[in-house]
Amino acid sequence: MVIATRPSEITLPPECQRFATVFAYLLEKFPRIPQAVWQSRIEQGKVFWHDGSLITLDTPFQPSRRLCYYREVSAEPQVPFSHQIIFQNEHLLIVCKPHYLPVIPGGDFVNECLLERVRAESKLEDLAPVHRLDKETAGLVMFSCNSQSRALYHELFATGAIEKSYLAVAKLPLALQNLAIGSEFQVENRLEKSNPRFLMQVVEGEVNAKSRLKLIGRNGELALFRLWPHTGKTHQLRLHMQAIGAPIFHDKYYPELLAKQQDFSAMPLQLLAQQLRFIDPVCGTARVFCSNRQLAEWPDAVID
């Protein structure tokens, strides 16, 4: 059994809804975790309020209160690929993460994640990611290493004041074989949770996801795209590439969910968070950070 070295934290919903106890809420929020597991964690003191006071099986649900718990798995994978710290000052730390490594603990990963790796390397305890990438996606992740300025960097993402651009390789269908270099697509739709809940789907309703997609390279049936997400919905770029008929190469979620496998030798999703551009809210400096990581299906990509 592998137990997390640090507790995970969640904030309970602002309304009681139908939950009489914290235990009942946890059972519904984490349906893939058996009831007996949550019961054991609570009885062993592994679930507690943010102030350190333990909860019991009968502790009433308390809206908006911060809850902590220790995650555990029977065995934890070790991702055999390295990260690179690209920039660091007293406020910011920019890291390029490899494919397959989660930014924070999740699923089968309790201690093996980018956050814990960077904490160990930098010796910084007050470290928090300002945004997230899927574990299948490689590329740049911004961390705050100063709680006093952290909200300013969160605001960059919340207000869209940061430009994020990605590279993606796709196999062009027959309908797009004559697409010219420089062709652009603007995709706008509404994305919501699907079933299972880690997937997203396009639904009718008010637009909440916007992306610009540009073809920048061709190599036979393969095409290299630069992607600019203007919003930050889960799996947005995967679904927006699918929407133009060019799913990202080696996507194991879309258009078809493939069986789960923990094979780090398999070809990863061909998606790279390649660039971040923003005005630093602390000092006013124009910042541009680029990853020099390459996508395996496009090893000689010329980056504009």
**pLDDT at position 153:** 97
Q: CA 20, CA 92: separation in Å to the nearest integer? A: 41
- In the chain, what are the domains? 2-73 (3.10.290.10), 84-290 (3.30.2350.10)
What pTM did the predictor assign? Answer: 0.88
Q: What is the pLDDT of residue 261?
A: 76
pLDDT one digit per residue (tens) for the chain, 304 residues: 889 888 999 999 988 778 999 999 999 988 888 999 999 999 999 999 999 999 999 999 999 999 999 988 888 999 999 999 999 999 999 999 999 999 999 888 989 999 999 999 999 989 999 999 999 999 999 999 999 999 999 999 999 999 999 999 999 988 888 899 999 999 999 999 998 888 999 999 999 999 999 999 999 889 999 999 999 999 999 999 999 999 999 999 999 998 887 778 888 999 999 999 999 999 999 999 999 999 999 986 555 5
| Whole-number pLDDT of residue 121 | 95
- What was the pLDDT predicted at 73? 86
Q: What pLDDT score does 124 carry?
A: 95
Round to whole Å and give the CA distance between 205 and 223: 31
> What is the reported pLDDT for 27?
95
Query: In this predicted structure, what is the pLDDT of residue 160?
Result: 93
Cβ density class 150-161: b for 16+ within 10 Å, e for less: beebeebbeeee
Closest CA to 232 of 144, 116, 134, 127: 134
